């Protein structure tokens, strides 16, 4: 089910990209998204903030680049706080190995 554009509230949101044949959507329609330079990832839009510590191993760093936000159930549309985790680069590899459903929230920077 496609969301409605958060800006105009009329047109359906634009498709951002496809992964595993599954479409991921933007928060705005094509029309409203035009001319915009940078769009925050969905989790940021929903008020989640990347932490400076890993939710898995408690690794801390002052460099936020070492962390990524993951969706625990693998569904990037589920932006509830409980579904979002900050994961360090180290744990990301482990997540991948364990084949957990966790999915990175900002796979493709939307610049
Ligand atoms: Zn719109
Ligand atoms: Zn970690």
Question: What six digits make up the tokens of 82?
Answer: 């409980």
pTM > 0.75: no
> What is the CA(65)–ligand 1 centre distance, in A?
31
The answer to whether the CB of 37 falls within 8 A of the CB of 111 is yes
pLDDT digits (tens, 9 = 90+) for 28-78: 998 888 765 566 788 998 999 999 999 999 999 999 999 999 999 999 999
> What is the CA(14)–ligand 2 centre distance, in A?
33
Point out the least confidently predicted range of 4-13, 21-30, 33-42, 95-104.
33-42
Q: pLDDT higher for 85 or 111?
A: 85
For ligand 1, a single-atom ion, the residues with CB < 5 A are: 5, 7-8, 11, 29, 32
Q: Is pLDDT at 2 greater than 90 in this prediction?
A: no
Rounded distance between C-alpha atoms, residue 6 and residue 72, angstroms: 24
Rounded distance between C-alpha atoms, residue 5 and residue 17, angstroms: 16
Residues in the chain: 111
Question: What six digits make up the tokens of 68?
Answer: 């990524």
Burial classification of residue 82, based on how many CB atoms lie within 10 Å of its CB (0-12 exposed, 13-18 middle, 19 or more buried): exposed
Which ligand sits closest to the CA of 57? 2
What's the distance, CA 94 to chain centroid?
Answer: 19
Q: What share of the chain is helix, strand, coil (3-state, %, to 5)?
A: 20, 25, 55
Pairing of strands 22-25, 67-71: unpaired
């Amino acid at each position: 089910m496609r969301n409605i554009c958060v800006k105009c509230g009329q047109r359906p949101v634009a498709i951002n990209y496809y992964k595993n044949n599954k479409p991921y959507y933007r928060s705005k329609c094509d029309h409203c998204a035009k001319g915009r330079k940078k769009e925050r990832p969905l989790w940021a839009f929903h008020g989640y903030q990347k932490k400076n510590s890993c939710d898995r191993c408690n690794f801390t760093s002052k460099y936020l680049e070492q962390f990524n936000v993951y969706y625990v159930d693998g569904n990037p549309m589920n932006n509830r706080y409980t579904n979002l985790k900050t994961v360090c680069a180290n744990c990301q590899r482990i997540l991948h190995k364990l084949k957990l459903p966790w999915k990175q929230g900002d796979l493709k920077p939307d610049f």
